[in-house]
Amino acid sequence: MKPIVYIRCGARTKATGQPCKRRDVYANGRCKLHGGLSTGARTPEGKKKSALNGFKKGWNKKNS
């Protein structure tokens, strides 16, 4: 995805409500720090791998 020129990120801070000052905005209206790059897992293998995130170390994957 290429950045849209001269548009600022639409994200706001929790404390003051000030908008993000970054201008490298992607098609979804957010910069790379606020979710402009990640689209999540798309393949069945990637979805299965991401579903295992958060398991404790040493957990036997065979049991999941």
Residue by residue, pLDDT tens for the chain (64 residues) are: 555 567 888 888 888 889 888 888 887 778 888 876 667 888 999 888 888 887 766 666 565 5
Classify residue 9 by burial, with Cβ atoms within 10 Å: 0-12, 13-18, 19+.
buried
Domain boundaries, the chain: 1-49
Question: pTM of this prediction?
Answer: 0.43
Q: Rounded to an integer, what distance in angstroms lies between the CA atom of residue 50 and that of residue 48?
A: 6
